[in-house]
Structure 1
């Protein structure tokens, strides 16, 4: 049994016109609308605008810049303590977690919350915001990170 039975063969002219149109599309889609400077990208994950808000042609360059920059890990910051539950137990972000998750864990000083760098870079519009928009700040449940 042959696949020709199920699929129509394209003529050589059709293939050449498809190649020509895809070449034009590829060359025009590589153009960036903004100049990416990793020094001007916001380091604090709580202050960044979502990737999907950038022009579609700029997103990959922005992702690369953030990956080169690495996660925001202010390890020498004095992390504020929060009270959990009815008991007066104070907890805060533990900077040792940066060692446990060195490639993706980020901390936002602005939101006092933990974030996931990879989740930020590759989140689709409309997805869950726990490690991207809102952050994680339940310091008594480190296992949820």
Structure 2
């Protein structure tokens, strides 16, 4: 019997999609993520789809995002947003909550912890929390 080696093999495409839906539902409904939520458009459908496509490839599955949009530079696509430590930590908190809700095995949560922290910190482009918010309609197109 073989064991799963990649997050994609553990979650599968449907599991990744569900993780992204849970992530944005949590972000949308929890006050702990209010600054992060303020950076997003009212309709979270398009960004949910993009995150699922991105994570599918990032986690070792088919390169859905790259096939559709080409290569991605996360720092470029997030440059228009004030992402400081608070926003970064809110993103990580939402992802951790979504992983917990999905009942992802601890092995997977541990496997993703450091790489997700690195991604979240890579898109951080400010040292301080945001005093003003960006246009919430921009991220849906980004």
TM-score bin, normalised by smaller chain? 0.3 to 0.5
**Which protein shows a greater Rg?**
1
Per residue, is there more helix in 1 or in 2? 2
**Normalized against structure 2, the TM-score is what?**
0.33
Per residue, is there more strand in 1 or in 2? 1
**Normalized against structure 1, the TM-score is what?**
0.32
